[in-house]
Amino acid sequence: MITNPAEARTAWVAHGFDVADAAPEPMDQFAAWLAEVQAAGVFGPRAMLLATADAENRPHARVVMLAGHDRRGPAFATDQRSPKAHDLAAQPWAAAVFLWGEVERQVRFEGPVTRTSKAEADAYFTNRAVGARLATWVGPQSAVVDDRAALEAQLLRTLQEQPSPVPRPPDYVGYRLTPEVVEFWQGRSDRLHDRVRYRRAGGGWLLERLSP
């Protein structure tokens, strides 16, 4: 098993990635790549760049953490009062990118976004560290604050007020991107990169190789 990014990069760049290597289902392929980069020790493997657009079609992008994934698509969680949640209420479609630069791999998703069930949001919340769970109670995400001291004071109040285990705030909700398009990108030498795209076609997936 490859256990460091340098070794993984050398092996994966040399081997590449082709349609013949791809799983029939894109989320199965994503699960395989995610497991590989995690095993190789790549930094921040669950970090996902999420792009949305507001009601005026102005794009916004930020990095969120992958909360879960299955064949339905990748899921994330956020405060429903946040800008990204407002964007998704206005235009429930998003693009997401995982970039594992240390090993020259990238996965892109495009598709509609829907809210997950409360049970799934509970599960995402429970998987967070205790401090991260407390931090979700500090205030509305992206709201203006006076300074760091105000945040820390609110965290202390939260620590005193909330029971143990810390419950999920009512505004902490989950979302899932249901992919219509998924692209896997593997870096190769001389920038002759391998790109394999899945597109929904009827009840299945069409796999295509793209020019770099």
**Does the N-terminal peptide bond of residue 165 adopt cis geometry, omega within 30 degrees of 0?**
yes
What six digits make up the tokens of 107? 């996965």
Cα dihedral 209, 18, 70, 54 sign: negative
Respond yes or no: is residue 191 known to be catalytic. yes
Catalytic residue among 9, 81, 115, 191: 191
Two tokens at 138? 């500090």
C-alpha closest to that of 92 among 140, 54, 60: 54
Distance separating alpha carbons of residues 29 and 20, to the nearest angstrom: 12
Q: How far is CA 123 from the centre of its chain?
A: 16
CA–CA separation, 25 vs 29, rounded Å?
A: 7
Closest among 41, 35, 32, 49 to 196, alpha carbons compared: 32
Instruction: List, by residue number, the catalytic residues.
Output: 191
